[in-house]
Structure 1
């Protein structure tokens, strides 16, 4: 097999020779004599004879590393990897030369824009800058977080940043933009040879199965590759993600989800002149300046590059997005539990009684929620509630959403008495001290 280093495509001997024969760049070569010329595809002598420009490899990979090609080959010498060819060194050559005199002041136009699209969340911007720096300095270590960028309005300047990141990290196929509708599906071909993918226009409400695929891609160090014409295989997961959307509920995140660094922009789009200035900077000195800043970046003590950095900050913006990703029933019940409002004024309750009381006490709120024993159970579990009781009879089972560990140790007779207003809690709880 022949392998095209530039494109990553495999070709059989016949396909390779024909490809070069028809190529305007290569064409044919005369291997005959002055008396008897013989023109053949230039691929034939390349294939048949030793040449200094030809590389023979047992294994071809695309695995980012902070080592130079010479350092990597020296490290592999005498090991089973000695016959490996790593395309990383070819693909990254299109990186811009970093301006090593650059400082944060020189990229303030970028950090100001990141603050704007993050909803002015400094912690989220700080996380993203560390994330970019690790990807630049130590690309061999998989980052443990992805970036979720939401904006209420269109065209606020999220996806335009891919034009800045491409020259910094080496261009395609290392860095590119993809359709958001592909997230979580059979999209492994979009990830091939990538270290950074920006998925634009994520649709609303990604289903759970596709979200599980996405979570695995974010956090796992290996993934399945299904290249065209080749058997599926497990490869090192080198891809890191930026996910852009105008739908706050695009991903069904759990509360406190540590995988996603959330930007949330609720402000209107800025002026055309603002975006022209930013675009001119990106097309001009921006890539060299950003590369210089990232090359010299000093990581905080809690950012462990070998472990993939740190978990995403749980900012106000993150909490808002996480809440909007949940069902209205979950959020409504959480409000009632927090406010100790009926039917959640007690610590426990039977499923059928809860459904009945929700319908009669809050008809306007619950009319569109279609509350059933299953949807109620799902909502309560997401809020940390547990089941207590025994057997299959409804009267002998209840949900507990407060002081769960205490109630799990209470006998059936005792919690029934509490629920039926015949007794108080069978245990003491700490007094709530007022701040007033």
Structure 2
């Protein structure tokens, strides 16, 4: 791989030279193994250790399809879907790979006894398939994680509705946590020039997801002045949601779990903050019973901050732990927009607070290409900033994923893949200098 890294670092390598670089037959990637998919059987989620299931292995470089691109991955980042993959919840991902191989021509290569994980990357194009016209070898790119076939009519209205829509690196193989990655050409976007490799790799999944949830007409379609309750406002999704609300003229009410996280969201410009640990909020009396008095107390805390207003939008992603409270506190006619469910998929809420107060629940899942492109444009223009907090090497992937699994992180956790060290890859130092305080505020 050294000749590839040298070519990237020189910054003068031509597209023709990139195209002539030899591509190795194998590369190092972070994998889970089908043979180990039952290793945590019977264990509680909190006791499963992702580090035991993740391995750095040599894997064969895949063939490139007509609409595909092989990317030299300089950096990637950790998302919660990698946590799920590495603890084999809600089920092992090898079933996804087998279905993809069985139903889509040319996808047979994804069905392997290993799964290279990861749904973010920044890097440089090495090779393109015969039908690719949008990028060329040597282009500096970031990737969003929507893999879609677009052979069904539903996908042409919104590609997230296509029945063959998948999340790259979770429901497909050859993801971003490796030295190379295989993506479709329509996953790629220009790398923001003022960012390092690891900063550029931090935003793709979470920022695009938050953009669709809040800004897009496919989500809550936030308008100026909307009060938006944001769970986990200092985390991966929440830190971008907070910025989008502020950037769009909304009023964020940020829920966090520690004084440090409260300080972080205030540094982004948020003024209304609830530290749920300091308030002692407990929405469940036991495993089966929710405490509606706590919902009411929580709603009172929100109203104290907003001058008596309830949230127009609730930005939901914790799931089971918070969903009942989210439905309760949203204003009459308000919207609970939900993705993921990091605390559990089975949501329990009192439907009287939904139907009698004309609220609505909107499900969203990642973003289509246009939404991801617009989200990346905001990053490139310095209107929204990566919230990278810490960076690991590829060999330390187990520790990095364990930190996210245990919620011991702020913002995003980055991973260096081919980049030999942090803080490389900037080609617009003037813009970077203007935004340096915002780019480094989450750094530990």
TM-score (norm 1): 0.21
- Considering fraction of residues, name the structure with more helix: 1
- Structure showing greater Rg: 1
Bigger share in strand: 2
Q: Which has the higher contact order (CA 8 A, sep 6+)?
A: 2
Which TM-score applies when normalising by structure 2? 0.21
